[in-house]
Amino acid sequence: MSSQTDASKSMTATAIASAPVNIGSAAEQSGVSAKMIRYYESLDLLGKVRRTDSGYRQYNQAEVHVLRFIKRARDLGFSMAEIAELVSLWNNRRRTSASVKRIAQKHADELAQRVAALQEMQRTLSHLIHGCHGDSRPECPILDGLAGD
């Protein structure tokens, strides 16, 4: 008897997991805010989202999965244009991995450039801080440095 109950629970859980969810549930399941989901939808990253007769959005599990994909890509710092291209490639079973790698490599190269620029800013600021006595005198090499003197 318990095997029937377990099977019934499993079927119910599967039905619930595959049932469409509202924007709040999609947000909770994906880790993306409802506001951002609407934004991603406006960029056509989710395709045509089904709506109820009263106009409420209904997201299937595939769309929630796309939202998780987008969130992970955003967490890695990809731009929205890059994400749109990645989502398109992800949905295209005829894609080449070279296309995906090209996007990822370009992004990694841009990140490396930004890291180098930040490190240079840190070195410059550390140099300015080191030159400042930090006492009651009005002279301040930090301000002089920022002023270009």
Query: Tell me: the pLDDT tens digits for 110-126?
Result: 999 999 999 999 999 99
Distance of CA 61 to the CA centre of its chain: 18
Residue carrying structure tokens 């600021």 = 125
pLDDT band at 11 (very low <50, low <70, confident <90, very high): very low
Mean pLDDT of 58-84: 97
Which secondary structure element, helix H or strand E, spans residue 91, and what is its range?
helix 80-91
pLDDT, mean over the chain: 90
Domain with residue 7: its CATH number is: 1.10.1660.10
Residue 59 DSSP SS3: strand
The total domain count for the chain is: 1
CA distance 144 to 149: 5
Domain span holding position 41: 2-95
